[in-house]
Structure 1
């Protein structure tokens, strides 16, 4: 018998999923893209997440299933090449998120302890080590993963909220506050594109769907869990962006881009503040890696169960789905090959497409779910427009990221097509 999940736990699944490593990984990137308008970029991305959460609410209530997103897509499109490809994209997007978190861990860790004289080598060592450690924990015990996650959510929120209050106090009389002026914002299209590059920071609320069958009083609590967690995180991110830009000059943010949150704690709290935020980043990214490894391997297993991947993926290795090891190895490769911006872009493109498809499912099944047709349709259109703008904007500055994103999508469709064709024979 599974333990039932109350509203508080459900909200913490959503918040924990979103405030994983995302904010630590992409805040510096966001500022480099949107400058003083970064809070607005986070708002744009947040609104898109909120609209998408409406589709998730309706689908989670009507089709509560531990398969979550995978099941919704199959519900909307049947077990077709299209749904199989999108579900495979979901799995690969989890791998991309894992490499994003590991990359963030690798960027923050050398600030506490340098291993070699070279920060880049250090970051790769740390990023690889944390993936290996998290994989070992996942093999050792799933219960430990859950425990780590529940403590980590509290620790990171306490530290982030403390950062906000102390940082906000530090803004009084800080000349950098002028950087938030509208004159310091990037052009609207760039703000929007910036918001879409960092859209990955909102990925995670969809994990509530996987817990939907266990949520107490689902009619009331499922909507609350989604909306409260997404709105809370939107506010959290906007305020963090506000405090960061008001605390540090853009030049400083640029040099400390990969660990900017820790740097932003320095003006008020000095080296101690820097270290505290660094520890928070390490705990957050580690817990996110742990949870996403577990989630990623489950997605892979679900897809294979639904005949959208070969049944070889149903095999077990050391009592866990083989997908866990494949996910871990793929993450190790990605994190050591790609730059942060390419990882972030690929992750955002993946999730924008997936959420777009979920919104489309919400629209198609609006009669069955008793939902307003307009909201999912708007969500679908916005996700598609956002994907196009993101690809267009990034193509000049981050061609690699765009090519990788598109290649992954094409790869998912080709693999699914080949699998479905050979399966029929």
Structure 2
């Protein structure tokens, strides 16, 4: 059985876990991709993404207050859909989206680190550095809750302070003009559909708040502190995102942002603060990605362990010693390493957004319909979250089918394989029992 330590995570620690995941891939990896879809409007997209996330967070807060659990989202889905294929499939979609996020963060670490070594570094270093970061995250996660929350909380404060300082310094160079990025040929192809699609990526930037729900029973006074931690984490992340988006927008043109899409923040530091600014930005990026990986691995390994304990997913020890939680930690890291090697940043982000939004809609439907009368929630807000998710997902898939259809079909195939695999596994489990 997996063991969890009640009251082992403070409110500050929970906020550290949430912001640790959010302020990593969120701004470093996704800013350029959001600009690619929305042009000079990209800072506004983070505001809209924050609004969509706020609606979504409402459902999670209400579920956490009613069912605080270390299994978090997995437990919520079981409460809504029962111990069956729907709950198991949606839970694995969430777990996979979190693992995908880890590979996104890992490649971001490699991409930004290489900015210190001049132009045109060999591409193989990006996945190699990412794999190294994941190995480090594995070792840290063996250390236990107390060390993890202290590590992520301290370094989350450092990166928030550092990024805010960078943004303010970059904005001061242009006289705090908050000017939109100068247009280019890229703005001609921007449509309302592509702007809607970009919101899906900003939602991905905020999804780290779910890390808090996955540690529910371990947080002190969970019914009070989970909601507070989620609200504080989203608010802090939104402020940092907006400062950085405007700093980049005011210092670079759209064409420059798109050229440096995977490392736009470092590129914005050059005209604003010179090479010293680049070193500062890369240093903060390294801290941010390290804390993001550690917090995400912490959450997903616990979620998978809970699903294993509930006999919703198969599990094999493969001769490994220790608890199930340690085994799921190994599986999490191995899958994240494989994705880091195989996919580039854009496709990793796209798949993560699709899987997450599908799971998110199932959470809202569960609260709105399945748990009606059991979870005290304003149905209008929950329905609003469901509609917003659906609209954003539809726009994102539409745009991706036009520009990179392979990733949409791969995502659909992953969903179908998980669904079929879970159905077969649960049928066999039922026959054995």
Normalised to the residue count of structure 1, the TM-score between the two structures is 0.92
Q: Which runs of 5+ in 1 are unaligned?
A: none
Residue number in structure 2 paired with 1:336: 341
Please say if 1:146 is aligned against 2:149. yes
The alignment's C-alpha RMSD in Å is 2.6
CA separation of 1:360 and 1:122: change in aligned 2, threshold 3 A: same
Which of 375, 382, 390 lines up with 1:384 in the alignment? 390
**Counterpart position of 1:257:** 261
Q: In structure 2, how many angstroms separate the alpha carbons of the residues matched to 1:228 and 1:150?
A: 13
Change (3 A) 1:314 1:413: farther
Give the corresponding residue for 1:133. 136
String of CA shifts for 1:342-393, please: whole Å, max 9, x gaps: 1001111111112211112221324222211111122122212222221111
Tell me if the contact between 1:171 and 1:177 (Cα under 8 Å) persists in the aligned partners: no
Whole-angstrom CA distance in 1 between matches of 2:125 and 2:181: 35
Partner of 2:421: 415
State which drifts further: 231-240 or 149-158: 231-240
Distance 1:226 1:315, change over 3 A: farther
Unaligned runs of 5+ in 2: none
| Deviates most, 211-220 or 100-109 | 211-220
Q: CA deviation at 1:216?
A: 4.6
- Change in 2 beyond 3 A, CA 1:290/1:113: farther
Q: 1:359 aligns with which of 360, 364, 369?
A: 364
Residues 329 and 223 (structure 1), Cα distance of their counterparts in 2 relative to 1, 3 Å cut = closer
| 1:146-196 residue CA offsets vs partner (Å, 9 max, x unmatched) | 332122201110111112211221222879746389x95933221111111
Aligned counterpart in structure 2 of residue 284 of structure 1, from 284, 288, 297: 288
Q: Classify 1:372/1:288 alpha carbon distance in 2 versus 1 (closer, same or farther; 3 Å).
A: same
Paired position in structure 1 for 2:299: 295
Greater alpha carbon shift after TM alignment, 348-357 vs 74-83 = 348-357
**Which residue does 1:49 correspond to in 2?**
53
Structure 1 residue 16: Cα displacement: 2.4
Aligned partners of 1:64 and 1:213 also within 8 Å: yes
Q: Structure 2 CA distance, aligned partners of 1:221 and 1:295?
A: 17
In 2, the alpha carbon distance for the partners of 1:120 and 1:400 equals 22
Q: What's the offset of the Cα at 1:218?
A: 4.7
CA distance, structure 2, for counterparts of residue 303 and residue 250 of structure 1:
44
Q: Give the Cα separation in 2 of the matches to 1:300 and 1:345.
A: 23
- Aligned pair count? 423
- Conserved 8 A contact 1:176-1:248: no
Contact 2:105–2:293 (Cα < 8 Å) also in 1: yes
Deviation at 1:205, TM superposition (A): 0.6
State the match for 2:378 in structure 1.
372
TM-score (norm 2): 0.90
The answer on 1:348 being equivalent to 2:348 is no
Asked if residue 327 in structure 1 is aligned to residue 332 in structure 2, the reply is: yes
Q: Is the 8 A contact 2:41 2:180 kept in 1?
A: no
